[in-house]
Amino acid sequence: MKSTWKVYVLALISFLVGTSNYIISGILDRIAATLGTSVAAAGQLITVYSLAYAVGTPILMALTAKMDRRKLLLYSLGLFIAANLLTFILSGFGLFIAARIITALGAGVVTVNALSIAAKIAPPGKQASAIANVTMGITASLIIGVPLGRMVASAFGWKAVFLAIAIVGVIAMLVIAAVLPRMQGDKPVPLINQFALLKRTQVLVALAITFFWLGGYSLAYTYLSPFLLEVTHFNESLISAALFVFGIASLIGSKVGGYSADKRGIKYTLVSGMVLHVISLILLSLVGQSVIAIFAILIFWSFTAWSSAPAQQFNLVSLVPESSGVMLSLNSSMMQLAMAVGAGIGGLIVNRISLASVTWFGALGVLIAIIAVFVLSSRASRQSVVQSVE
């Protein structure tokens, strides 16, 4: 099998991982109804998942650094499959939380390994494209996986989604075992060395941009399906369609954001995208029940929100180019932490204020991220002046 097809297999795995992650938001109302809990409590499943992913992944990667990459991918994918089967089999909210923690640990190692293997098996000069293809699998989970999962949940029950993920995962596992070569592990990078970068103020501010941008996004996105059901009064078919167009817009926004970062610069792309992100969240709370207007704003929201993703990754790599891998790893953990906190705070807001107000608080989070962009830019400018004087 040519390396291109091997990369596509890895992209399929990242699609499964992304679907297992994002689908909770798409079927949150159904999970809450089945488990006999509130929507806000069900939303904490995302908090638990993201925290386990953020904390567990760097630790597990450090402990398994020397292991053969193919073997590690198979083991972690096996853990991911087993966790999805447990989600399908077990009943009760507490057991579901435990299954989500196991899922997160397997998913984190699977994702990092898939990206690493893609770069290693790609032909010279095409490593970046290989990594992009694997990343596209995660984006595709928003476009295809979430709305498809919603439809499967409507037809067969929400647990059937996780059974389907496990079945496709087993097929992917067999293909990987057959076609991927053995690959030597990497030289271990101690966790203490990875976190040493956090002593730098600029790095902390840059990671704060990720935290507040994605935290604000997650705060609103986690409760998108209940919001569309209860606030805008969408029916089932409209929700599936809304999730689909939301995913398409995220893909286009990511592409445009990368192009803008190259042509117009990081600061311009981040600030303009986040300002429009704030506006879209505010408009969503004011639009009422017009289907056309809601669809238009959902497209606008997803487009502007995800336009910041490539620019922020480029921002972090540019900040510490000699430690780009560690910076991207830290950013991945920060993204999951932001999603955990966003979902957690969103649950409190839904319980104590209202479901309709989550978009306003999400907009506040993104607004703080904009301020962080200006703080980072100001510090970089002062540092450049000092270096020029010296």
> What is the CB neighbour count within 10 angstroms for residue 29?
20
Most confident residue range from 74-83, 279-288, 379-388:
74-83
CA 310 – CA 280 distance, rounded (Å): 20
CA 241 – CA 250 distance, rounded (Å): 14
Q: Answer for the pair 208, 372: CB distance below 8 angstroms, yes or no.
A: yes
Q: What is the pLDDT of residues 200-244, one digit of tens each?
A: 888 899 999 999 999 999 898 888 888 888 887 887 778 878 888
Read off the DSSP letter of residue 92: S
Percent share of the chain, pLDDT over 70: 89
Q: What is the pLDDT of residues 169-211, one digit of tens each?
A: 999 889 888 877 777 655 656 667 667 777 888 889 999 999 9
Q: Residue 246: pLDDT band by 50, 70, 90 thresholds?
A: confident
pLDDT at 60: 84
Average pLDDT, whole number, for the chain? 83
Q: Answer for the pair 11, 138: CB distance below 8 angstroms, yes or no.
A: no
Q: At what angle do helices 39-63 and 93-121 cross, to 10 degrees?
A: 40
- Report CA 223 to chain centroid distance, whole Å: 15
pLDDT at 2: 65
CA 206 – CA 374 distance, rounded (Å): 10
More confident residue, 189 or 78: 78
pLDDT at 150: 82
Q: Which amino acid is at 238?
A: L
Q: Answer for the pair 285, 357: CB distance below 8 angstroms, yes or no.
A: yes
First to last CA, the chain: 56
Residue 389 has pLDDT above 50, yes or no: no
CA 371 – CA 385 distance, rounded (Å): 21
